[in-house]
Amino acid sequence: MTIRLPDLPDDILFLVVANLECARDLRALALSCRRLQRLASSDGWRIFVRTRFPSLAIPAPATGSHTWRQLAESMTWQSRCWDKRSLQFQLMLPRREVNGHGRQYGGGMGGFMSVVDAQFDPATQQELVVWGSGEDIYARCRQRRGRGKASRTSWHRLRGNDFGLRGGYDDVNTVKLVKRPSGRVVVAGRHNGELALLSAEPDRFGERIAQFGPIAEQNNSVQQLSEPDTINSLDILHRSSGPLLAAAAKSTLRIYGLPEDDADVISPLTTYDLTESVLAASSARLGGARWLGNGDTIAMALVGCKHPLRYLARTPTGWSHHAAAKNERVEREFGVSPARTVTPSSLEAVHYLHSGARRETNLLLSAWKDGTIRLQDLRTPSPFDAVYQDNVDPWSNAESLMAYGTERFVAGGSDGLTIHVFDFRWPRAYHHTSGLPCLGRSPFPRPHQPFMMPPKAELGGGARCNHVVGMRCRWHELSRDLYFRPNAKFFLNNSLRRYTSSSVWSLARASDISPNFYIGVTGGVIEATLEQTPDTYPPNTATVDPNFGFDDWRAGAPGAVGYTARPLWPSLMETGDGYSYEGNDRSILLPPLNRHHGPAEWMAFRGKLAKHHRLDNGYQEQDDFR
């Protein structure tokens, strides 16, 4: 008796779906018959998304919102854009204004350091981004209304000058967005030590909800301290019983519970004073803190003391303090020293997921002043530890990090307006090249400075894949090799020659399914969006994410808001495999940079090999195809 594929039980068909490498194959399977089409619609696309993107926090579709098929379309589209470096940038700057003292400010890259946070609600397609601009706080709320339609956008501003706040001393150091049952709120920590809970709802933006102790308001004016305990960082732990806030001040770590209802003063649940036990040196201070695990561990970055990376562990008797475990194998292999200083604002938890559920993690990504970025388990000498570095400029320090699961992370630092995109170099479940036709040649163009030996010729197959014996063609096989997937660095200074002293201070994304993220720089905010050059592969598709992208993301702010927008044209440089090497101890002469010419000036070459190019069309040169 012959058994047809549609006659197999669902459990067997689910295994087939879980082993499909690209969305094209699942679509072809769904078009073969009605039963397989129903199976793909009900569970197939969900299995594909969970299997191919296991490390990303992808929310299940809400009633009346997007579908699993749309999620698969967006995640595969975004993965292709990341691999082909299809990134566009726009800078938002404050306009020139005159304050109450008659002094002009704004209109350029000012001296304040922008700190930014963002949230995206997939059910309502609404994104909220908020950032600190000196003593002011700005927010932009926009709601997506469908493909090809302009979004519903509103801008909001909290003027610090209206509350007697001064530039510099009262600047916003850190912001965090939190969603409560009663509405969204923003937690803002200032240089003067003030920590406040403000409304983030459009109709009451900036309204004071509560003040966090021990610093409180008196007579509607901010209490001034002789020696403020500056708020250096904030981190939110989301729990079923309610969110917890970890606030790292100069000498104390305070943990707060965020009430569902409004309150006048919120007292800390726990205060850990580091003055006597840790900060023995007068110059030492607590620079940042980050939740790890399920809330039983808090990583800490200290400045001006020995063992700068430490953590607090919850015990039955309270919090216990520890120095991060040393991994001698990693120190020996990568030639790094534990005596270096960690960048306090760079701590980033690295989560990995399984079956759509976020696992507890003690993996921490941190940037150090020797140019390295280290991934380590704080409590054990884990074999997963690794050290990353820019192979072209190994001494460039990162100030902020942002991880996308275990697939990639973005770094921004003090070496000007530059953004680094690193691959974690862990095995990946999805490669966008699997959906492209076979090719009997190596990927092109070859990396200019690969920093590693090219793969052997015998590793590649023939002109076509042989699925019967499980052998890929030469192009499909080599496209997965690390040699042809170097890390990248985007230079934005060419668009802002007057502001060469600007730096990157913070990074934030609204969610793991958002095709854009935000960069807090000196004097402004940059929005980075995955956007492919028109007429690239696949043809006749939108240039932004078809389900979560904003077609009008380049639209500027209204004149009354106080901000103006201008596009940036990046230059791209590939920077090697990204691993740190003991012998890589000096900078390398910069190679020629490929200038991104923008959507209106992309190359005229439209050969059949254009979609096989490793980079976006904006970086392609016709000579690459010969």
Q: pTM higher than 0.85 for the full model?
A: yes
Name the DSSP letter for residue 111: S
3-class DSSP string for 134-166: CCEEEEEEEECCCCCCCCEEEEEEECHHHHCCC
Is there a domain that residue 249 lies in? no
- Residue 224 CB burial class (10 angstroms; 0-12, 13-18, ≥19): middle
Number of domains in the chain: 1
For residue 215, name the pLDDT band (cuts at 50, 70, 90). very low
Pinpoint the alpha helices (H) of 269-353: 328-334
For residue 103, name the pLDDT band (cuts at 50, 70, 90). very low
pLDDT at 260: 81
Tokens in use for 72? 């698969």
Is there a domain that residue 581 lies in? yes
Q: Residue 603 CB: number of other CB atoms within 10 A? A: 16
Q: Higher-confidence residue: 353 or 229?
A: 229
Residues 6+ apart with CB under 8 A from 193: 215, 225, 228, 229, 230, 231, 249
Intra-chain end-to-end CA distance of the chain, in Å: 53
363: enclosing H helix or E strand:
strand 363-367
Nearest-angstrom CA–CA distance, 402 and 404: 7
Tokens in use for 245? 């806030």
Q: How far is CA 119 from the centre of its chain?
A: 12
For residue 197, name the pLDDT band (cuts at 50, 70, 90). very high
Name the DSSP letter for residue 95: P
What is the mean pLDDT of the segment spanning 357-379?
83
Backbone angles phi, psi at 121, to 5 degrees: -100, 105
Tokens in use for 193? 């030590």
The domain of 470 spans: 53-112+409-626
Indicate whether 46 pLDDT > 90: yes
pLDDT at 420: 95
Q: How far lies 144's CA from each of 127, 155, 567, in Å?
A: 8, 15, 21
pLDDT at 229: 82
Indicate whether 237 pLDDT > 50: yes
Nearest-angstrom CA–CA distance, 440 and 462: 6
Nearest-angstrom CA–CA distance, 424 and 374: 11
Indicate whether 159 pLDDT > 70: yes
Residue range 572-626, pLDDT digits in tens:
888 888 888 766 666 666 666 776 665 544 444 456 777 888 888 888 776 676 5
For residue 3, name the pLDDT band (cuts at 50, 70, 90). confident
Longest dimension (CA), the chain: 90
Backbone angles phi, psi at 519, to 5 degrees: -125, 115
pLDDT at 23: 94
Residue type, 586: R
Nearest-angstrom CA–CA distance, 307 and 342: 9
Tokens in use for 345? 């604002």
Residues 6+ apart with CB under 8 A from 74: 513, 515, 545, 546, 547, 548
For residue 130, name the pLDDT band (cuts at 50, 70, 90). very high
Average pLDDT score over the chain: 84
pLDDT at 589: 66
b/e string for 304-316 if b means 16 or more Cβ within 10 A? Answer: ebeebbbbbbeee
* Strand, coil or helix: 457: helix
What is the mean pLDDT of the segment spanning 264-271?
89
Is there a domain that residue 573 lies in? yes
Residue range 11-40, pLDDT digits in tens:
999 999 999 999 999 999 999 999 999 999
Residues 6+ apart with CB under 8 A from 153: 140, 141, 142, 143, 552, 555
Is there a domain that residue 500 lies in? yes
pLDDT at 149: 86
Q: Please, are residues 220 and 207 in contact by the beta-carbon 8 Å criterion?
A: no
Tokens in use for 237? 């732990």
What angle in degrees, to the nearest 10, is found between the helix axes of 68-84 and 23-30? 150
b/e string for 520-543 if b means 16 or more Cβ within 10 A? Answer: bbbbbbbbbbbbbbeebbeeeeeb
Selection from 233, 437, 450 nearest residue 349 by Cα:
233
Nearest-angstrom CA–CA distance, 357 and 59: 10
pLDDT at 39: 94
For residue 329, name the pLDDT band (cuts at 50, 70, 90). confident
pLDDT at 536: 65
Is there a domain that residue 520 lies in? yes
Selection from 351, 303, 305, 307 nearest residue 325 by Cα:
307
pLDDT at 104: 37
What is the mean pLDDT of the segment spanning 424-446?
90
For residue 396, name the pLDDT band (cuts at 50, 70, 90). confident
Indicate whether 408 pLDDT > 70: yes
What is the mean pLDDT of the segment spanning 113-142?
94
70: enclosing H helix or E strand:
helix 68-84
Q: How far lies 139's CA from each of 128, 129, 158, 335, 503, in Å?
A: 7, 6, 9, 44, 21
Is there a domain that residue 539 lies in? yes
Backbone angles phi, psi at 357, to 5 degrees: -110, 130
Is there a domain that residue 434 lies in? yes
Selection from 170, 160, 172, 190 nearest residue 100 by Cα:
160
Positive or negative, the CA dihedral 146, 152, 153, 154 is negative
Indicate whether 515 pLDDT > 90: yes
Selection from 425, 352, 345 nearest residue 386 by Cα:
425
Tokens in use for 211? 């003040």
Nearest-angstrom CA–CA distance, 366 and 374: 5
Q: Please, are residues 129 and 136 in contact by the beta-carbon 8 Å criterion?
A: no
Find where tokens 């089409």 sit.
37
Q: Residue 552 CB: number of other CB atoms within 10 A? A: 13
Indicate whether 434 pLDDT > 90: yes
pLDDT at 217: 40
Q: What is the length of the chain?
A: 626
Is there a domain that residue 129 lies in? no
Q: Please, are residues 381 and 29 in contact by the beta-carbon 8 Å criterion?
A: no
Q: How far is CA 521 from the centre of its chain?
A: 15
pLDDT at 275: 79
Which residues, listed in sequence order, are joined to residue 196 by a DSSP beta bridge? Answer: 188, 211
* Strand, coil or helix: 300: strand
What is the mean pLDDT of the segment spanning 359-384?
84
